[in-house]
Amino acid sequence: MADNLSDTLKKLKITAVDRTDDSLEGCLDCLLQALTQNNMETSEKIQGSGILQVFASLLIPQSSCTAKVANVIAEIAKNEFMRIPCVDAGLISPLVQLLNSKDQEVLLQTGRALGNICYDSHEGRSAVDQAGGAQIVVDHLRSLCSKTDPASEKLLTVFCGMLMNYSNEKNDSLQAQLINMGVIPTLVKLLGIHCQNAALTEMCLVAFGNLAELESSKEQFASTNIAEELVKLFKKQIEHDKREMVFEVLAPLAENDAIKLQLVESGLVECLLEIVQQKVDSDKEEDIAELKTASDLMVLLLLGDESMQKLFEGGKGNVFQRVLSWIPSNNHQLQLAGALAIANFARNDGNCIHMVDNGIVEKLMDLLDRHVEDGNVTVQHAALSALRNLAIPVVNKAKMLSAGVTEAVLKFLKSEMPPVQFKLLGTLRMLIDAQAEAAEQLGKNVKLVERLVEWCEAKDHAGVMGESNRLLSALIRHSKSKDVIKTIVQSGGIKHLVTMATSEHVIMQNEALVALALIAALELGTAEKDLESAQLVQILHRLLADERSAPEIKYNSMVLICALMGSESLHKEVQDLAFLDVVSKLRSHENKSVAQQASLTEQRLAVES
């Protein structure tokens, strides 16, 4: 066989020059047979013989052997080590030219050859790109799309496969190029017409998966009936692997709000709920994976405002009720998806009010209770997210406080997990907003305040640090309580509020200044030393002198300066820093409130000096 192959290769070199089609055909048949028997070994021999360059001259439209030459190239390009040599031998350009052939077999073998050269090969894809191969293939797909005869379907499968390999590129430029060529509507149409053809369907799905990651593809997908086609296809799949393929396309597409709504309207949610019901009690690995994929996708669909509202149906919807039943389940994945779904439903006041009135808070508190000791962090995080969102409408706060939400949330104060800490803080801050009694009760809780002060130093976790500062400030602002201020002073919280006044976020600066003004008005003697060592007066001077400070920051800084005058040591610091100069300039400020407060502050400073 080896001798035979060597002879064939020698003969092929000579024949290629003479262009005698009969003997050429015999040599090619011999090569194809050898490739069938041992593809790798034969390919190595072909590469070593230098015959690849000869193939370039044989790829001519007029020859009766052209399809066989393309077939040989398709076979050798199944080997990874042969793809770059095929590019280097200059085979891409003549192969791309053959895509203009009218001969079905030539098109079939050329498509195979180019598809295999593109497989997992950046060099192969680049060469096809430079030779303009993609556009010709897209045009073929467009013209063949509606034909359902076996020969056309075969060609469609090969061309679709080629595009699948071509678009599987790490950088986005080739995918963007295909999207600009308008390949998406063609592939969607193809999926609808040829949904009975498993091979073609799979090629389409992989190509969709490659393209769907790109943001620019989503608008094109949204203008087709992709949602309907994918849901139809999904319903037909019985095997796990096939459903997995559809899922892989659905997930990136469902990130787009318009497609979310289309998927909901096409009945995807009912399919997902059915999968959850079928797989919930299974301990088979693939069933557990599918349950996770289905419930995750369900949560993703609820991230769109329209799709979420459609599924909520005023809290009476079947989907909402089913998701509600996931929360008390014993399956962690369903508990997580249920809590996340509630957090997503709780994105407008109407939904939040309805859910709180219908007992959702108790269900979430029960869920949290099951995860206090060595609990599942993702479930804790999700349940706290839901409670935080539910606490936003004013009318819900008192109801949630009397239901015992603060007590349930405080059980997680010892958590060392930043995502849980972050949501815990956010939930408490929402609950005490304008709730003086609750703010006072929490503000006198030494354990809580000490933990907040500790988290105010969590430099590795900016979110936790920011939320801790905001909650400290909120406890003072909403309680206006001397006891709360004393607790915060004793726990070392003052310096953090002063630092917060220099935050890059205006809202946080403002919250800090208002809290500090209350401290100065209610408990200046207690806080005096801490305010001094935190250099509050110097910071206020900087804020007033800085032209970039927002009007409300300037206003509240001046209010605070006036409040600090009651302390002898702080008063002296104010005098030493020549505040009068800075304040008098602000009398002509464009903001009326700032200008008025500047006049009042100037008078106060003048009197006290």
Instruction: Please tell me the predicted confidence (pLDDT) of residue 405.
Output: 97
Residues 6+ apart with CB under 8 A from 307: 257, 260, 261, 263, 264, 301
pLDDT digits (tens, 9 = 90+) for 311-353: 998 888 888 999 999 999 999 999 999 999 999 999 999 999 9
Per DSSP, the three-state class of 509 is helix
* Contact call for residues 122 and 83 (beta carbons, < 8 A): no
| 333-338 own/partner pairs: CB under 8 Å, 24+ apart | 333/288, 333/291, 333/292, 333/295, 334/276, 334/280, 334/291, 334/295, 335/367, 335/376, 335/379, 335/382, 336/295, 336/376, 336/378, 336/379, 336/382, 337/295, 337/296, 337/298, 337/299, 338/367
* Contact call for residues 305 and 257 (beta carbons, < 8 A): yes
DSSP H/E element including 102: none
Alpha carbon 444 to chain centroid, angstroms: 40
* Contact call for residues 579 and 570 (beta carbons, < 8 A): no
Alpha carbon 189 to chain centroid, angstroms: 28
Residue at 143: amino acid letter: S
Mean residue pLDDT across the chain: 92
Q: Is the pLDDT of residue 217 over 70?
A: yes
Instruction: Please tell me the predicted confidence (pLDDT) of residue 1.
Output: 43
Instruction: Please tell me the predicted confidence (pLDDT) of residue 518.
Output: 97
Tokens of 467: 């939320």
Q: What is the DSSP letter of 547?
A: T
Tokens of 505: 């976020």
pLDDT digits (tens, 9 = 90+) for 260-299: 999 999 999 999 999 999 999 888 999 999 999 999 999 9
Q: How many CA atoms lie within 13 A of 325 on its CB side?
A: 9
CA distance 468 to 462: 10
Tokens of 343: 């957090």
* Contact call for residues 489 and 498 (beta carbons, < 8 A): no
Instruction: Please tell me the predicted confidence (pLDDT) of residue 458.
Output: 84
Which pLDDT band holds residue 413 (cuts at 50, 70, 90)?
A: very high
| Mean pLDDT of all residues in 178-182 | 91
